A and B are shown apart, each in its own frame.
Chain A
Amino acid sequence: DTAVSQTPKYLVTQMGNDKSIKCEQNLGHDTMYWYKQDSKKFLKIMFSYNNKELIINETVPNRFSPKSPDKAHLNLHINSLELGDSAVYFCASSQERPGWGTGELFFGEGSRLTVL
Protein backbone atom coordinates (compact mmCIF):
# COMPACT_ATOMS: atom_id res chain seq x y z
CA ASP A 1 0.00 0.00 0.00
CA THR A 2 1.74 3.16 -1.25
CA ALA A 3 2.25 5.75 1.50
CA VAL A 4 2.29 8.83 -0.75
CA SER A 5 0.72 8.34 -4.15
CA GLN A 6 0.50 10.76 -7.05
CA THR A 7 -1.47 10.66 -10.26
CA PRO A 8 -0.79 10.81 -13.08
CA LYS A 9 2.79 9.58 -13.21
CA TYR A 10 3.31 11.00 -16.69
CA LEU A 11 1.59 13.97 -18.29
CA VAL A 12 2.25 15.29 -21.80
CA THR A 13 0.35 18.36 -22.90
CA GLN A 14 0.43 21.41 -25.13
CA MET A 15 1.36 24.94 -24.13
CA GLY A 16 -1.60 26.94 -22.89
CA ASN A 17 -3.49 23.96 -21.51
CA ASP A 18 -4.59 23.53 -17.90
CA LYS A 19 -3.69 20.38 -16.00
CA SER A 20 -3.94 18.94 -12.50
CA ILE A 21 -1.85 16.52 -10.45
CA LYS A 22 -3.34 14.75 -7.47
CA CYS A 23 -1.66 13.49 -4.32
CA GLU A 24 -2.86 11.35 -1.45
CA GLN A 25 -1.06 10.15 1.67
CA ASN A 26 -2.18 7.38 4.00
CA LEU A 27 0.42 8.01 6.70
CA GLY A 28 -1.86 10.12 8.87
CA HIS A 29 0.49 13.10 8.47
CA ASP A 30 -0.69 16.64 9.03
CA THR A 31 1.53 18.38 6.49
CA MET A 32 1.89 17.97 2.74
CA TYR A 33 4.14 19.60 0.17
CA TRP A 34 4.74 20.11 -3.52
CA TYR A 35 8.33 20.15 -4.75
CA LYS A 36 9.51 20.82 -8.29
CA GLN A 37 12.54 18.98 -9.69
CA ASP A 38 14.02 20.57 -12.78
CA SER A 39 16.03 18.96 -15.56
CA LYS A 40 19.24 19.33 -13.52
CA LYS A 41 17.64 17.38 -10.66
CA PHE A 42 17.45 20.49 -8.44
CA LEU A 43 14.58 20.23 -5.93
CA LYS A 44 12.71 23.34 -4.88
CA ILE A 45 9.77 23.61 -2.53
CA MET A 46 6.66 25.21 -3.98
CA PHE A 47 3.89 24.92 -1.41
CA SER A 48 3.07 23.35 1.92
CA TYR A 49 -0.26 22.74 3.65
CA ASN A 50 -0.82 21.85 7.27
CA ASN A 51 -4.26 20.48 8.02
CA LYS A 52 -5.72 22.18 4.93
CA GLU A 53 -4.06 25.51 5.77
CA LEU A 54 -1.49 26.98 3.37
CA ILE A 55 1.70 27.55 5.36
CA ILE A 56 4.41 27.82 2.72
CA ASN A 57 3.97 29.62 -0.57
CA GLU A 58 7.24 30.13 -2.38
CA THR A 59 7.78 32.50 -5.26
CA VAL A 60 5.69 30.52 -7.70
CA PRO A 61 3.68 31.99 -10.60
CA ASN A 62 0.03 32.33 -9.68
CA ARG A 63 -0.77 30.00 -12.57
CA PHE A 64 0.01 27.30 -9.99
CA SER A 65 -2.77 26.79 -7.48
CA PRO A 66 -2.65 24.13 -4.78
CA LYS A 67 -5.78 22.82 -3.11
CA SER A 68 -6.10 20.66 -0.04
CA PRO A 69 -9.64 19.28 0.44
CA ASP A 70 -8.52 17.43 3.57
CA LYS A 71 -5.23 16.74 5.30
CA ALA A 72 -4.69 13.51 3.36
CA HIS A 73 -4.95 15.13 -0.07
CA LEU A 74 -3.08 17.89 -1.84
CA ASN A 75 -3.69 18.69 -5.49
CA LEU A 76 -1.81 21.00 -7.82
CA HIS A 77 -3.58 22.78 -10.65
CA ILE A 78 -1.57 24.57 -13.32
CA ASN A 79 -3.17 27.04 -15.71
CA SER A 80 -1.86 28.19 -19.07
CA LEU A 81 1.05 25.77 -19.13
CA GLU A 82 4.39 27.04 -20.41
CA LEU A 83 7.44 25.20 -21.73
CA GLY A 84 9.34 26.06 -18.55
CA ASP A 85 6.81 24.18 -16.46
CA SER A 86 8.21 20.91 -17.77
CA ALA A 87 9.62 19.15 -14.72
CA VAL A 88 8.98 16.36 -12.26
CA TYR A 89 6.60 17.40 -9.51
CA PHE A 90 6.91 15.58 -6.22
CA CYS A 91 4.34 15.42 -3.49
CA ALA A 92 5.61 14.80 0.03
CA SER A 93 4.26 14.63 3.55
CA SER A 94 5.60 15.03 7.08
CA GLN A 95 4.25 14.20 10.50
CA GLU A 96 4.62 17.73 11.84
CA ARG A 97 4.59 21.15 10.25
CA PRO A 98 7.99 22.55 9.21
CA GLY A 99 10.05 23.69 12.18
CA TRP A 100 8.13 21.57 14.69
CA GLY A 101 9.79 18.22 14.13
CA THR A 102 12.87 16.87 12.44
CA GLY A 103 11.64 17.88 9.01
CA GLU A 104 11.72 14.33 7.61
CA LEU A 105 9.71 14.07 4.42
CA PHE A 106 8.06 11.10 2.76
CA PHE A 107 7.90 11.44 -1.01
CA GLY A 108 5.66 10.19 -3.73
CA GLU A 109 7.10 8.77 -6.93
CA GLY A 110 6.72 11.98 -8.86
CA SER A 111 4.66 13.22 -11.79
CA ARG A 112 6.65 13.98 -14.91
CA LEU A 113 5.08 16.88 -16.78
CA THR A 114 6.15 17.56 -20.35
CA VAL A 115 4.85 20.69 -22.04
CA LEU A 116 5.18 20.74 -25.84
Chain B
Amino acid sequence: AQSVTQLGSHVSVSEGALVLLRCNYSSSVPPYLFWYVQYPNQGLQLLLKYTSAATLVKGINGFEAEFKKSETSFHLTKPSAHMSDAAEYFCAVSDYNQGGKLIFGQGTELSVKP
Protein backbone atom coordinates (compact mmCIF):
# COMPACT_ATOMS: atom_id res chain seq x y z
CA ALA B 1 0.00 0.00 0.00
CA GLN B 2 1.08 3.53 -0.65
CA SER B 3 2.13 5.57 2.32
CA VAL B 4 3.36 9.02 3.22
CA THR B 5 6.04 9.98 5.73
CA GLN B 6 6.46 13.50 6.99
CA LEU B 7 9.84 14.10 8.57
CA GLY B 8 9.54 16.15 11.72
CA SER B 9 6.32 16.43 13.69
CA HIS B 10 7.22 19.99 14.60
CA VAL B 11 9.15 22.66 12.69
CA SER B 12 9.91 26.11 14.05
CA VAL B 13 11.14 29.02 11.92
CA SER B 14 11.57 32.74 12.39
CA GLU B 15 9.35 35.17 10.56
CA GLY B 16 10.88 35.86 7.15
CA ALA B 17 12.88 32.63 7.10
CA LEU B 18 12.56 29.80 4.61
CA VAL B 19 9.92 27.19 5.35
CA LEU B 20 10.74 23.59 4.38
CA LEU B 21 8.37 20.78 5.31
CA ARG B 22 9.44 17.33 4.17
CA CYS B 23 7.28 14.61 2.69
CA ASN B 24 8.32 11.27 1.22
CA TYR B 25 5.93 8.81 -0.35
CA SER B 26 6.06 5.18 -1.30
CA SER B 27 4.34 4.23 -4.51
CA SER B 28 4.90 1.79 -7.34
CA VAL B 29 3.10 4.05 -9.81
CA PRO B 30 3.14 7.83 -10.28
CA PRO B 31 0.86 9.10 -7.56
CA TYR B 32 -1.31 12.14 -7.06
CA LEU B 33 0.14 14.10 -4.14
CA PHE B 34 -1.33 16.85 -2.00
CA TRP B 35 -0.47 19.29 0.74
CA TYR B 36 -3.25 20.39 3.05
CA VAL B 37 -3.13 22.99 5.82
CA GLN B 38 -5.16 22.93 9.01
CA TYR B 39 -5.44 26.11 11.04
CA PRO B 40 -6.40 25.76 14.71
CA ASN B 41 -9.96 24.52 15.20
CA GLN B 42 -10.61 24.43 11.48
CA GLY B 43 -10.92 21.87 8.73
CA LEU B 44 -8.27 21.00 6.17
CA GLN B 45 -7.74 23.32 3.23
CA LEU B 46 -5.94 22.35 0.03
CA LEU B 47 -2.63 24.18 -0.43
CA LEU B 48 -1.55 22.53 -3.66
CA LYS B 49 -1.62 19.28 -5.60
CA TYR B 50 0.56 17.33 -8.03
CA THR B 51 -1.36 15.47 -10.72
CA SER B 52 1.46 14.44 -13.10
CA ALA B 53 1.73 17.74 -14.94
CA ALA B 54 4.51 20.18 -13.99
CA THR B 55 6.82 18.85 -11.29
CA LEU B 56 7.01 22.24 -9.57
CA VAL B 57 3.59 23.04 -8.23
CA LYS B 58 2.57 26.45 -6.96
CA GLY B 59 -0.16 26.75 -4.38
CA ILE B 60 -1.92 29.35 -2.32
CA ASN B 61 -0.30 31.74 0.16
CA GLY B 62 3.10 31.61 -1.58
CA PHE B 63 3.72 27.89 -1.01
CA GLU B 64 5.13 25.56 -3.61
CA ALA B 65 6.24 21.95 -3.76
CA GLU B 66 8.45 19.98 -6.10
CA PHE B 67 7.75 16.40 -7.13
CA LYS B 68 11.02 14.46 -7.33
CA LYS B 69 10.45 10.94 -8.55
CA SER B 70 14.08 9.88 -8.02
CA GLU B 71 13.84 10.86 -4.36
CA THR B 72 10.15 9.92 -3.93
CA SER B 73 9.71 13.30 -2.30
CA PHE B 74 7.21 16.13 -2.41
CA HIS B 75 8.63 18.74 -0.03
CA LEU B 76 6.72 21.94 0.68
CA THR B 77 8.53 25.27 0.69
CA LYS B 78 7.86 28.95 1.15
CA PRO B 79 10.65 31.52 0.76
CA SER B 80 9.59 33.76 3.62
CA ALA B 81 7.49 32.65 6.58
CA HIS B 82 4.71 34.79 7.92
CA MET B 83 3.15 34.60 11.36
CA SER B 84 -0.14 33.57 9.73
CA ASP B 85 1.54 30.42 8.34
CA ALA B 86 1.54 28.81 11.78
CA ALA B 87 -0.63 25.72 11.37
CA GLU B 88 -0.58 21.94 10.93
CA TYR B 89 0.46 20.76 7.48
CA PHE B 90 -0.46 17.38 6.02
CA CYS B 91 1.01 15.63 3.02
CA ALA B 92 -1.29 13.09 1.35
CA VAL B 93 -1.22 10.57 -1.49
CA SER B 94 -3.98 8.95 -3.53
CA ASP B 95 -3.56 5.24 -2.96
CA TYR B 96 -4.41 3.44 -6.20
CA ASN B 97 -3.85 0.08 -4.53
CA GLN B 98 -6.58 0.89 -2.04
CA GLY B 99 -9.18 2.19 -4.46
CA GLY B 100 -7.83 5.71 -4.70
CA LYS B 101 -8.32 6.62 -1.06
CA LEU B 102 -6.47 9.68 0.19
CA ILE B 103 -3.83 8.58 2.69
CA PHE B 104 -2.44 11.26 4.99
CA GLY B 105 0.94 11.66 6.62
CA GLN B 106 1.27 12.24 10.34
CA GLY B 107 1.27 16.01 10.00
CA THR B 108 3.90 18.67 10.75
CA GLU B 109 3.15 21.52 13.06
CA LEU B 110 4.74 24.75 11.86
CA SER B 111 5.51 27.44 14.42
CA VAL B 112 6.62 30.91 13.34
CA LYS B 113 8.59 33.02 15.80
CA PRO B 114 8.52 36.82 15.60
Contact = CB atoms under 8 A, between A and B. Distances in A.
B113 to A, nearest CB: 21
Contact of A98 (B44, B102, B106): B102
B106 A103 contact: no
Given A45-B101, A56-B101, A102 B107 contact: no
Contact of A103 (B43, B100, B109): B100
A40 B46 CA distance: 20
A45 B99 contact: no
Q: Which of A40, A41, A109 has the most CB of B within 10 A?
A: A41
B67 interface: no
Interface of B: 32, 34, 36, 38, 41-46, 49, 51, 88, 90, 92, 94, 96, 99-102, 104, 106-107, 109
7 contacts: A4-B43, A41-B38, A41-B106, A42-B106, A43-B107, A56-B101, A103-B102
